[in-house]
Structure 1
Amino acid sequence: MVEATMVVAQEASIHGDMLETILSYVPLIDLVPASHVCKSWKRAVFSSLRHLNKPKPWLIAHTHTTSHAFDPRSHVWIEIKQQQPPIKQQQQISTLRSSHSNLLYMLSPSKLSFSFDPLHLTWHHTDAPLVWRVDPIVAAVGRHIIIAGGTCYFEDDPLAVEIYDVETRAWELCDPMPAILKDSSASTWLSIASDDLKLFVTEKHSGVTHTFDPETKTWSGQYDLRPDPCIFYSVIAFSDDRLILAGLIGEIDNVRGVKLWGVNCESFECEEIGEMPLEFLEKLKGESFQLSSIAVCFAGKVVNIYNPLMAEEVFMCEFVDGGCQWWSVRNAAANRWNRMETVVFTSSKVGIEDLHRAVWSENRRFAVVSPE
């Protein structure tokens, strides 16, 4: 597309508003070479991104062998043709996982590898925590990586908490999780969200919520995140600087709705933001017409909601002018995956600078899969 645009530009001397308009239709990945054509093209690229068709957070689906990213600005799926080396090195002994929207990690008995940049080009490696865990909650808060709960049956404390300081590269054992979480101290039962200061932990079925401050190493709570008594399952995440609660209304075999609330992080009062359209809810349920859980990925003002048992379609909600705009995304990459592979999602704000770094990284290539 960029090559065709350049030919037209040479023949007709396209510039100014007309060039910006044309570039607003070009996929973000193709704007990287376009920005290097000349100074006027570079100005047009960035002006188009600021004023005509602003970038929206990407949804990225990862397996052990590849990644596929959806760019909602241009409605295309992009295949990241080569995955990160640490995943290949560890795939025999650990599972690729994601946490609170943009933390990608692998935990083995001997090593923790994690990445939280937008396209996961940079990985960090350290020794595994002292307590061995099979299903912990893992979160990035500021310069800290927090690992809690999810311990093996032979460990003494199922509520054990450890913190890794990215700057000092040291582990520290902290006070355990609140005792009320003893029977649910694993990522299977807990939903987490984090900002630069605190970790928020919510029990998915009860709404019981606590917070953890890695600087003071203290837990606070408990708080109740059940704005509607009909919620039977809920998850949390951050949208920019606002904590969001997504809840299933009804029962497993009769889900009546998926609603979103904004949460005041001081009082923990909830204000309803919006509700998923019924036609999307039916698709989310799938052929079984039951829905026992949902998963979410947030970045910026966009939330991605999907059925963790059926990742072929993702439902996006963008917060606009106090309301919600909904649309669905058919996963164009799903039929390329090995059905035995674990698929995890992250969501990130991706800019021209991130893509420039990715395009010119050694052994890294991108290819557009298809329009959505």
Structure 2
Amino acid sequence: MSDHNPKEPNINTLSTDLTELILSSLPIPPLLRASSVCKLWHSLISSPTFTPPSLSHPWFFLFGLHNTSSRNNQSFAFDPLSNSWFRLPPLDDSSSSSFLGSTGFLFTTTPKFSYTPVLKSSWRLTSPLKYSRVNPLLGVFHDGSSGVRSFKFIVVGGVRFIGGLVDIEDRLAVEIYDPNHDSWELCPALPADFRSGNSSQSLSSALLKGKFYVFGIYSCFVSSFDLQKHVWSEVQTLRPPGVIFSFMISCNDMLVLAGMCNAPSGPSFNLWRIDEKTMEFSEISLMPQSLLYSLVDDEEDDKFASLKCVGMSNLIYVFNEEYHQRYPACLCEISADNGKCSWRRLPQLPSPVNKFHKVISFCSTVSLTRIFHREHEPPRPMYY
């Protein structure tokens, strides 16, 4: 006999639609565990049509690359809803110095350009770039000009090498790739103002309302490329008082500048909202001082120089790309309702953590089906 009282609710008696609705309210790690409860739950959760709201929150991806041994490469992803890290299979490509990431894709630019969706590891080689380069800016945007919504890649700037030397005559090339036709379109070059630093190491970028913004992390030059008209705007200078370096990010359908300042009260990490029409700025938040100093070694003279920043949707991540503190990070969540900002420290990366020569980081939403159906692996949770 069953001990169950038929007058009490039983999840086994719920309709499939209601069960799916309940499961969709869970963050990713509990979902992965729930998928092993029974065949029905696994079928619902692993279905391509299952899209819980948690998937709309951008994850923070951190790929650590070792120059001499790919066995020391490590890859991690942070889920902000569950406040948890995932350990991912490491990158093992021999051209690790050319890896980049942007909005759901990983790229390698040399010796040839190729890409793969995040969490899928199914690389696709493209036709050759007209101007091959290392460390360009990369953007992924949706194009509906042909009546069919599809994605394209924009590749901007980067360092070109000829005979092992930097090409000082580089045209700061801009190219757009169409995956449907495997074709590259050469576009007007990046304005010459950016020539002194034209790679992703000295520039940041943001996509907003059909424009690809390029911003000098140290120079504070800014210009935007119209993705439909293929023209660059006039170069302007966007330098809030006291700023040392800063990054441009697209958040909550607005441009945000995030960077270090020498303020009268001491060093600070600030967020400014940028009016994309006038390029005027207004401060929206300061990182708490205790949180800022928890990301750095207090004894170093240039302790803030290794701070980097990425963001997407309503989240901005700030992290230290130096090894000695195991790459600490924090995030700021910007409320879509009232614009208020809340800061918090991320938990430490899961041990062991290797020493990396290069760190690649970006934000992206994720596909649950890619978590369940990893190529060459049985469906299994990746949560640690």
The TM-score with structure 2 as length reference comes to 0.75
Q: Deviations over 1:215-265 (max 9, x none)?
A: 332211212322x221111101111422111021118xx961111112222
Q: Call closer, same or farther: CA 1:273–1:243 in 2, change over 3 Å.
A: same
**1:30 equivalent in alignment to 2:33:** yes
Q: Call closer, same or farther: CA 1:180–1:75 in 2, change over 3 Å.
A: closer
Q: Call closer, same or farther: CA 1:317–1:220 in 2, change over 3 Å.
A: same
Q: Call closer, same or farther: CA 1:118–1:235 in 2, change over 3 Å.
A: same
Q: Call closer, same or farther: CA 1:296–1:173 in 2, change over 3 Å.
A: same
**Partners of 1:31 and 1:238 in 2: how far apart?**
34
Bigger share in helix: 1
**1:150 equivalent in alignment to 2:147:** no
Equivalent residue of 2:40, what SS?
A: coil
- TM-superposed CA distance for 1:14, in Å, is 4.8
| Contact 1:94-1:108 within 8 A present in 2 as well | no
| Contact 2:260-2:268 within 8 A present in 1 as well | yes
Amino acid at match of 2:106: L
Q: Deviations over 1:42-73 (max 9, x none)?
A: 7xxx99966xx897332222246553222222
| Contact 2:103-2:140 within 8 A present in 1 as well | no
Equivalence for 2:195? 182
Equivalence for 2:354? 338
**Partners of 1:24 and 1:132 in 2: how far apart?**
44
Bigger shift: residues 316-325 or 190-199: 190-199
Equivalent residue of 2:292, what SS?
A: helix
Q: Call closer, same or farther: CA 1:269–1:131 in 2, change over 3 Å.
A: same
Amino acid at match of 1:165: D
Q: Call closer, same or farther: CA 1:79–1:223 in 2, change over 3 Å.
A: same
**Partners of 1:286 and 1:270 in 2: how far apart?**
30
Equivalence for 1:13? 10
Equivalence for 2:334? 319
Equivalent residue of 2:233, what SS?
A: strand
Structure 1's unaligned 5+ residue stretches are: 1-7
**Partners of 2:374 and 2:179 in 1: how far apart?**
24
| Contact 2:59-2:77 within 8 A present in 1 as well | yes
Superposed, 1:1-372 pairs within 5 Å as: 13-14=10-11, 20=22, 24=26, 27-33=30-36, 37=40, 56-63=57-64, 65-81=73-89, 88=92, 91-95=93-97, 97-99=99-101, 102-109=104-111, 111-115=112-116, 117=117, 119-120=119-120, 123-142=123-142, 143-152=152-161, 153-154=166-167, 156-195=169-208, 197-226=210-239, 228-250=240-262, 256-287=267-298, 288=300, 290-310=303-323, 312-320=327-335, 321-333=338-350, 335-340=351-356, 342-350=358-366, 354-364=367-377, 365-369=380-384
Q: Call closer, same or farther: CA 1:244–1:98 in 2, change over 3 Å.
A: farther
Equivalence for 1:4? none
The TM-score with structure 1 as length reference comes to 0.77
Equivalent residue of 1:168, what SS?
A: coil
**Partners of 1:286 and 1:23 in 2: how far apart?**
39
**Partners of 2:55 and 2:374 in 1: how far apart?**
25
Q: Call closer, same or farther: CA 1:182–1:341 in 2, change over 3 Å.
A: closer
Runs of 4 or more consecutive aligned structure 1 residues displaced over 6 Å after TM superposition: 15-19
| Contact 2:102-2:364 within 8 A present in 1 as well | no
Q: Deviations over 1:115-161 (max 9, x none)?
A: 4x564555432134232323322322332332324222246325233
Work out the percentage of aligned pairs sharing the same amino acid: 25
| Contact 2:104-2:365 within 8 A present in 1 as well | no
Equivalent residue of 2:206, what SS?
A: strand
- TM-superposed CA distance for 1:305, in Å, is 0.7
**Partners of 1:301 and 1:363 in 2: how far apart?**
34
Bigger shift: residues 12-21 or 302-311: 12-21
The number of residues matched between the two structures is 340
